[in-house]
Structure 1
Amino acid sequence: MSAREYREISESDLLDAPEFLDSMTDVANQRSDRRGRAVQAGIDDQDFAVTIGSFVQEADECAVTGSASLTVTLPAGRRGAHMSRFIESVYEVSARPWPTFAAFVDALTRDVAERQCTEEARVRLVGRVLVPRRTPVSKQLSHDRFMLLGDGRMRAGEVRTRTGLEATVITACPCTQAYSWGSTALTLAETHGVNTANQIMRDVVPFTHSQRATATVWVDGEDGPSTRDCYAAMCEGAHVVHELLKRPDEHYLVQRSHTRPQFSEDVVRDVVSALLERSDAAWPGSCRVRVESRAVESIHSHAVHSVLEGTLDDFRTAE
């Protein structure tokens, strides 16, 4: 911008220099003479820290830290977004505690749109939370890591949110386990006879390969399953890992995953089934839920993934 594009100062400007400088330097709010349609503008990788109500029974609240991506849609004639106002939104909204992560996503989306004076805004959050959980057998406490995910969109004054909970789980391969059972049974039968082999194998959990995986539950809006509901469904439908595991705890988790082996496809189906078992009559049937699973194969160089998505009514009628 050249000097000739600035207006000349007046005597009144000297009397109120801060006002003059503020109006003159608000370049982002100026009208753009450049060609083009509406432009999306914002910031990425903005750190945030917020306190929300806990989704585990061992704590009343938990701290979430992570990264935010904030975007607004500017009309064709507006030159730019006010980048500092994005930071103000994150700080002001996250400075207050929120009952749920979904409520925080909703409030942040509205605040961004209001400060930027726009009707369209989007907020995407990836948060990390450490929550105290007790081990399954020794009942010792440790901090376990979960991820909280948020996506908020405002259009024409209406805000829609989607929030997700991601957990680390362990899966055991069913097909290798079936082969191990058959192979072991045949070997025993050759040595000890068929009847003895069958008797032994009734009480044996065959070996198989296992892998670290993630399970993620996304819920649209705030009227459907809560994060606490999603957490409980994941603990029931999948095999959620613990940071601290004493030997009896390790045995329990590995035995549980081998007693109920799962493909990636089984994980998403079992989590949805566990969620439906907790179904509340107040949950709207139109509420959309998406369950994802991704496993890093231990005996292959690739990963596998599965997705099951639909409304609560879709899932209920499919049973």
Structure 2
Amino acid sequence: MEDVQSTPAEVPIDIDRVGVKNLRLPLVVRDRAREHQHTVAEVDLGADLPASSKGTHMSRLVEALSAWKETLDYQTLKSLLIDVRSRLAAQRAYVVFRFPYFMEKHAPSTKIPGLMSYECRLTGEIGPESERPSFLLEVDVPVMTVCPCSLAICNQTAAHSQRAIVTIACRFHGFVWLEDLVEIAEDAASAPVYSLLKREDEKVVTEQAFANPAFVEDVVRAAAHTLESHPQIRWFRVEVHSQESIHDHDAYASIEKVVRP
């Protein structure tokens, strides 16, 4: 049977990335409180393609993922990338896992537990003849912010508040807990958000937020300051996206920095 993919391309241009997107599979990730947790991931897989080939062999990517273990850690992700590179005879291979990560949070007054879901992404890439892949870890953390300007002009009696999303992306040495990144984001904001609050809890959260008003600039600086001191992080990007409650626009701020080589 003719291998059409291996025939010459009509337009001989190298392709940086070609592959498959949105494959779904069960996933096991490390959990600081319970050692491991089970979740579900959407996965993108791909590789580069030289100008001499018309197409890649998409089925080999699906085969590589089907043969892969469901536990996400350094060694298993490294083996997946090497397998993809080998199956496609490529120079470079990449994979992206997108998954919800769940953390149990207790309401601040009643201590009632509730599950919070945080959207996470882990990207892995490996280059030609390299045995050391690079990884990018990202997490979106919802928080609450109170506008300092609004609070000041209302004589400390009222202010507009809103939900904001703190997105932290980092490259690191060793291992970084997702819980660390969530806590950094929440500590930088006016207050965290919760999945379950009774009235006495709402009072505590609201009072905390109004006692700690913060612009997006304040939140992004506070998060960046803490990320700089994290011993495993060597590069980070943090962005705060505020879903404004009284404006017909959103507000954002972003900081990106190399911490250590």
Task: Give the drift of 1:122.
Answer: 2.5
Distance 1:131 1:225 in 2: 16
Q: Report the counterpart of residue 164 of structure 2 in structure 1.
A: 213
Contact 2:18 2:49 survives alignment (8 Å): yes
Task: Give the drift of 1:291.
Answer: 0.9
Amino acid at match of 1:37: I
| Inter-CA distance 122–53: structure 2 relative to 1 (3 Å threshold) | same
Task: Give the drift of 1:242.
Answer: 0.9
What's the TM-score once normalised by structure 2's chain length? 0.87
Q: Report the counterpart of residue 36 of structure 1 in structure 2.
A: 12
Q: Report the counterpart of residue 117 of structure 1 in structure 2.
A: 89
Which one of 148, 151, 161 corresponds to residue 177 of structure 1?
151
Indicate whether 1:162 and 2:133 are aligned. Answer: no
Q: Report the counterpart of residue 109 of structure 2 in structure 1.
A: 137
Amino acid at match of 1:227: L
Please state whether the residue corresponding to 1:87 is helix, strand or coil. helix
As a proportion of its length, which structure holds more helix? 1
Indicate whether 1:90 and 2:68 are aligned. Answer: no
| Inter-CA distance 69–248: structure 2 relative to 1 (3 Å threshold) | same
Q: Report the counterpart of residue 122 of structure 2 in structure 1.
A: 150
The correspondence of residues 186-225 of structure 1 with structure 2, limited to 5 A, is 206-223=157-174, 225=176
Which one of 227, 246, 253 corresponds to residue 299 of structure 1?
246
Amino acid at match of 2:14: A
Contact 1:172 1:208 survives alignment (8 Å): yes
Ranges in structure 1 where 5+ consecutive residues have no aligned partner = 1-23, 182-204, 315-319
Amino acid at match of 1:311: V
Larger mean CA deviation between 60-69 and 241-250 belongs to 60-69
Indicate whether 1:68 and 2:43 are aligned. Answer: yes
Amino acid at match of 1:153: E
Task: Give the drift of 1:48.
Answer: 3.2
Task: Give the drift of 1:217.
Answer: 1.2
What's the TM-score once normalised by structure 1's chain length? 0.72
Task: Give the drift of 1:53.
Answer: 0.7
Distance 1:240 1:105 in 2: 32
Please state whether the residue corresponding to 1:117 is helix, strand or coil. coil
The correspondence of residues 48-63 of structure 1 with structure 2, limited to 5 A, is 48-55=25-32, 57=33, 59-63=34-38
Q: Report the counterpart of residue 253 of structure 1 in structure 2.
A: 205
Distance 1:103 1:143 in 2: 29
Please state whether the residue corresponding to 2:192 is helix, strand or coil. coil
Determine what percentage of the aligned residue pairs are the same residue.
Answer: 24
Which one of 187, 195, 200 corresponds to residue 243 of structure 1?
195
Amino acid at match of 2:104: P
Amino acid at match of 1:269: R
Contact 2:141 2:186 survives alignment (8 Å): no
Q: Report the counterpart of residue 219 of structure 2 in structure 1.
A: 267
Aligned CA-pair RMSD: 2.4
Task: Give the drift of 1:245.
Answer: 1.0
Ranges in structure 2 where 5+ consecutive residues have no aligned partner = none
Task: Give the drift of 1:246.
Answer: 1.5
Amino acid at match of 1:148: C
The aligned length equals 257
Please state whether the residue corresponding to 2:185 is helix, strand or coil. helix
Distance 1:266 1:91 in 2: 45
Task: Give the drift of 1:82.
Answer: 1.7
Distance 1:80 1:53 in 2: 36
Amino acid at match of 1:42: G
| Inter-CA distance 62–121: structure 2 relative to 1 (3 Å threshold) | same
Distance 1:311 1:149 in 2: 20
The correspondence of residues 8-27 of structure 1 with structure 2, limited to 5 A, is 24=1, 26-27=3-4
Contact 1:268 1:291 survives alignment (8 Å): yes
Distance 2:217 2:76 in 1: 32
Indicate whether 1:229 and 2:180 are aligned. Answer: yes
Contact 2:9 2:51 survives alignment (8 Å): no
Task: Give the drift of 1:114.
Answer: 2.6
